[in-house]
Amino acid sequence: MNILAVGCHPDDLEIGCGGTLSKYAAQGHAVTMVHVANGNKGHKVIPSEELKRIRAQEARNAGALIGATVISLDVPDLAVRSDNDEWVRRLVNVIRQTEPDLIITHPPEDYMKDHMEVSKAVFDASFSATVPYYEASVPAPAHPKVAPIFYMDTLAGVGFLPEEYVDITDHIETKIAMNAAHESQIRWLYEHDGIDFLDFVRTVSKFRGLQCGAGFAEGFVQAKAWPRLTAGRLLP
């Protein structure tokens, strides 16, 4: 299968579904990781332009650990809008090029507006990608189907009740390594949010594992909208 994961900032996918993406890749599926925002405001010392370059490299390093294709849409932090035609058209183009069998992204309700805007944009773009007369950023054939969407966990699992779980016990160390690749964020999240980033990631994965009888797990909810629902299980 072709797996497309769309996160807001570099590191969001690694936090929310890194273990699942690792599991997909290990099973031989093609994984594409799209980061909408460039992460240029995620620090208080490193200048924005330099930080943007650093975080792009960190994202590539993380994706390389599982052999994923990594794409940045290069939208500035805190400027993500689902009605921004320019970057949404680029997202439609990515969908048409990757031809995903499913898409993973943020849930509609999350802890910050940029995340919620990405969620809405993915929902809209996944439909627009199937409309032949919709013009994306570059000419490409319409995607033949509206891809099912799976919403990944919120930060710390707050307000999110999973309906499906993926056992990532065999992939937890890869998930931790993917997150550790985002070196610029480890100190930033400690200073800004008071959290040990890697311990945070491991703890939430352990908590989801306790809920479903696994050592470590990630939780998901499928978007409930026609024609996105499927009879069979698509998660690994």
What averages of pLDDT result for each successive group of 10 residues across the chain (236 residues)? 98 98 99 95 81 95 99 93 92 97 98 96 97 87 95 96 99 99 88 88 98 99 94 92
Contact status, residue 125 vs residue 91, Cβ threshold 8 Å = yes
Ranges of each domain in the chain:
2-221
2-221: CATH architecture: 3-Layer(aba) Sandwich (3.40)
What are φ and ψ of residue 222, in 5° steps? Answer: -85, 140
For residue 8, the model assigns a pLDDT of: 97
Q: Which of 51, 85, 72, 56 has the alpha carbon at shortest distance from 6?
A: 72
For residue 139, the model assigns a pLDDT of: 83
CA–CA distances in Å: residue 62 to residues 9, 69, 140, 158: 13, 10, 29, 25
DSSP string, 37-76: E--TTS-SSS-HHHHHHHHHHHHHHHHHTTT-EEEEEEEP
SS3 at position 158? coil
For residue 137, count CB atoms less than 10 angstroms from its CB and return exposed for 0-12, middle for 13-18, buried for 19 or more.
Answer: middle
